[in-house]
Structure 1
Amino acid sequence: MTNHITTKWLGNMAFESNNPSGLTIKMDAGPENGGESNGLRPKAMMLSSLAGCSGLDVASLIKKMKLEVGEFQIETIANLTEEHPKYYDAVTIEYHFHGSNLKEGKLQKAVDLSMEKYCGVAEMFRRFADLEIKTIFHHK
């Protein structure tokens, strides 16, 4: 299967990129790099992609396992190297589950399945970064 994405220069430092969903995303640099901050930063979008990919897996497993989760969020904290080309060499992914009836074992299994078996973005990240996974349960 091949993905084909078109990314068009909008002038100055801004770009617009399409997606198989039919939606587009705008990217831009900050003023410190000649941009106007009118779009998302490309490297930071990689962290959103990582969280989104794994989050979709976990949400699907929550549904399949019929688990009760009030809220679920993923915090992605990455270290950017100082030398060019700058890249993420270490990433911590925190899964936060909130609820009054959290089944910790099953939720941990959902996270493990995503990170070890299903999430292709995590597999790509493993090629260049150390990943640390944390699961945090907030019982109400």
Structure 2
Amino acid sequence: MDTHKITTSWKGKMKFESDNPSGDIIVMDSGPDHGGEGSGLRPKAMMLSSLAGCTGLDVASLIEKMKLEVEDFKIITEGDLTKEHPKTYHTVRVNYHFYGKNLNEKKLERAVNLSVESYCGVMVMFRKFANVEIKIEFHKS
């Protein structure tokens, strides 16, 4: 069984630094409206980044393995929060954007579906507490 261990250290006010198994450091902070200075990432928004990063890594790997021609690839992720505390994401939209001249739409859809349905562990975790909506868009240049 793999275990990830991180250490998160308080840096004063509402600011924290957190390490990563890779050794990299991220900074988290709340905005001025919640006592912070806005000098770091917000924890809930980082969850959306983690989701996009997880599925993005899967899709990028599959693009390489399938030898697909993609000039650019972006994922726009939005999460709707509940009105009551503790506020949690109840609906999340993951919108994949592929750019290029010779996009193989069928294979790119397959790559996204493999990530969404089989490979991305963060996606599986999100589905335990939120409705996750997937959309794929192709932009031919």
Alpha-carbon shift at residue 115 of structure 1 (Å): 0.4
Unaligned runs of 5+ in 2: none
Query: If the length of structure 1 is used for normalisation, what is the TM-score?
Result: 0.99
Alpha-carbon shift at residue 88 of structure 1 (Å): 0.5
Output the amino acid matched with 2:107.
K
Q: Which residue of 1 aligns with 2:73?
A: 72
What SS does structure 2 have at the residue aligned with 1:46? helix
Q: Distance in 1 between matches of 2:42 and 2:78?
A: 15
Q: Distance in 1 between matches of 2:132 and 2:16?
A: 29
What SS does structure 2 have at the residue aligned with 1:111? helix
Query: If the length of structure 2 is used for normalisation, what is the TM-score?
Result: 0.98
Alpha-carbon shift at residue 77 of structure 1 (Å): 1.2
Q: Which whole-Å deviations, capped at 9, do the CAs of 1:15-45 have from their partners, x for residues lacking one?
A: 0000011100000000000000011000000
What SS does structure 1 have at the residue aligned with 2:11? strand
Aligned-pair identity in percent equals 64
Output the amino acid matched with 1:4.
K
What SS does structure 1 have at the residue aligned with 2:126? helix
Alpha-carbon shift at residue 99 of structure 1 (Å): 0.4
Unaligned runs of 5+ in 1: none
Output the amino acid matched with 1:67.
L
Q: Which residue of 1 aligns with 2:125?
A: 124
Q: Distance in 1 between matches of 2:34 and 2:105?
A: 44
Q: Which whole-Å deviations, capped at 9, do the CAs of 1:66-103 have from their partners, x for residues lacking one?
A: 00001100000110111000010000100000000000
Q: Distance in 2 between matches of 1:124 and 1:92?
A: 15
Output the amino acid matched with 1:64.
K
Q: Distance in 2 between matches of 1:2 and 1:66?
A: 33
Q: Distance in 1 between matches of 2:92 and 2:39?
A: 26
What SS does structure 2 have at the residue aligned with 1:61? helix
Q: Distance in 1 between matches of 2:134 and 2:52?
A: 11
Q: Which residue of 1 aligns with 2:32?
A: 31
Q: Which residue of 2 aligns with 1:84?
A: 85
User: 5 Å matches for 1:1-140?
Assistant: 1-140=2-141
